[in-house]
């Protein structure tokens, strides 16, 4: 790979170079007490294009969550954020500097332009509100009728792999299994049809079969709707299987990035090699020579 293909440059194989839907440029985040050299995120740049999934991989504490939470400014007020983050909505509306947006505009961007699946699902669903009500609240700003909201929810839940709509619609979060609750969280994140989906370890708590189904569906949805996703994971195998490109983070820095096949078959950074050699990378190494599985998303999923 040429030097220029390190970060932020679209892979040369992309047919038409399109404007990125998410563009993170020289992002640095410092929490109180952190010093230069030990920042949570240190000068990270990355681009995300329509129809692709970029995985951000790295060990615990490497800054993955801080990176994605910066995009929608869900960080503690004490965090110092530097850099530029731009997004483009489905209707072409550009927000060139999310970090400078007034709160009111930012609220419109959240959900509508950028969907977010948080790392901890336990806090993602309000326990005292039915699933139906969570969708109504999420879609409140869309000027939709109850019937339209229901139809949109059916669609989003279907995309997230929920087959038995009636089972979840009137339910409360505690009545759902972990897998089903996570599918609801994803459905809520995509129901406003955002152009960018940020998924922070969306399947870590799920058993492997449900995890595979949820991620395959996520990939299918991104491809079909021509949206784009930043998939945070500590699992290089997951990244290799479901993403198009990989960004490897270490101590807040993006130390390597490239197409899945390149990173896995020819890792440049010693840390990436370490990841590949470790248990969690073994699956990735096996997958490295194959294309990401875009097609295997049609299997019928059970509502787990």
Q: How many residues bind ligand ATP (CB under 6 A)?
A: 13
Query: Could you tell which of ligand ATP, Ni ion, none binds residue 288, using a CB distance below 5 to 8 A set by kind?
Result: none
HSE toward the beta carbon, residue 256, CA cutoff 13 A: 21
Query: Could you tell which of Ni ion, ligand ATP, none binds residue 86, using a CB distance below 5 to 8 A set by kind?
Result: none
CA dist list (Å): 1 to 4, 101, 228, 268: 8, 36, 24, 10
Query: Could you tell which of Ni ion, ligand ATP, none binds residue 58, using a CB distance below 5 to 8 A set by kind?
Result: ligand ATP
Touching ligand ATP, residues 271-290 (CB under 6 A): none
CB 253 within 8 A of CB 44: yes
Q: Does 40 bind ligand ATP (CB under 6 A)?
A: yes
HSE toward the beta carbon, residue 204, CA cutoff 13 A: 18
Closest CA to 249 of 229, 228, 275: 275
Helix (H, G, I), strand (E, B) or coil at 217: helix
Question: Site map for ligand ATP, 67-86, x if CB under 6 A?
Answer: ---------x----------
DSSP string, 48-103: E-TT-EEEEE--TTSSHHHHHHHHTT-S-TT-EEEEEEEEE-TTS-EES-GGG--H
Helices (H), 114-254: 131-138, 146-159, 165-169, 178-190, 208-225, 236-242
Q: Which of 60, 208, 298, 300 binds ligand ATP (CB under 6 A)?
A: 60
Touching Ni ion, residues 113-132 (CB under 5 A): 119
Shortest distance in whole angstroms from residue 300 CB to ligand ATP: 32
Q: Which of 31, 158, 165, 169 binds ligand ATP (CB under 6 A)?
A: 31
- Residues with Cβ < 8 Å from 37, sequence gap 6 or more? none
Question: Site map for Ni ion, 45-84, x if CB under 5 A?
Answer: -------------------xx-------------------
Q: Which of 50, 152, 234, 245 binds ligand ATP (CB under 6 A)?
A: 234
Shortest distance in whole angstroms from residue 61 CB to ligand ATP: 4
Beta carbon nearer to Ni ion, 139 or 198: 198
Closest CA to 58 of 226, 253, 196, 222: 253
Q: Give ∠ CA 106-110-116 in degrees, rounded to 5.
A: 140
Touching ligand ATP, residues 147-206 (CB under 6 A): none
Residues in contact with Ni ion by the rule CB under 5 A: 64-65, 119
Residues in contact with ligand ATP by the rule CB under 6 A: 31, 40, 58, 60-66, 76, 119, 234
């Amino acid at each position: 790979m040429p030097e220029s293909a390190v970060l932020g440059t679209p892979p040369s194989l992309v047919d038409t170079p399109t404007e990125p839907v998410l563009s993170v440029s020289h992002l640095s985040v410092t929490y109180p007490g952190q010093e230069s050299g030990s920042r949570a995120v240190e000068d990270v740049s990355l681009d995300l294009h329509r129809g692709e999934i970029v995985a951000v991989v790295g060990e615990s504490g490497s800054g993955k969550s801080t990176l994605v939470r910066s995009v929608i400014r869900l960080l503690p007020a004490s965090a110092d954020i530097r850099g530029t983050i731009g997004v483009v909505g489905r209707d072409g509306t550009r927000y060139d500097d999310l970090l400078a947006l007034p709160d009111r505009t930012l609220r419109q961007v959240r959900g509508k332009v950028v969907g977010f699946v948080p790392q901890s699902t336990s806090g993602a669903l309000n326990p005292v509100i039915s699933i139906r009500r969570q969708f109504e609240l999420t879609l409140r700003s869309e000027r939709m009728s109850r019937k339209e909201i229901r139809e949109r929810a059916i669609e989003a839940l279907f995309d997230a792999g929920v087959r038995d709509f009636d089972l979840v619609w009137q339910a409360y979060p505690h009545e759902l299994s972990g897998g089903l609750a996570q599918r609801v969280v994803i459905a809520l994140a995509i129901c406003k049809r955002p152009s960018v989906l940020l998924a922070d370890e969306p399947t870590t708590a799920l058993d492997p079969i449900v995890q595979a189904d949820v991620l395959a569906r996520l990939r299918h949805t991104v491809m079909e709707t021509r949206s784009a996703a930043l998939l945070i994971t500590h699992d290089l195998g997951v990244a290799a299987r479901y993403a198009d490109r990989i960004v490897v983070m270490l101590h807040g820095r993006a130390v390597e990035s490239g197409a899945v096949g390149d990173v896995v078959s020819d890792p440049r950074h010693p840390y990436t090699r370490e990841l590949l050699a470790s248990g969690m990378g073994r699956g990735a190494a096996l997958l490295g020579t194959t294309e990401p599985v875009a097609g295997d998303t049609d299997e019928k999923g059970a509502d787990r």
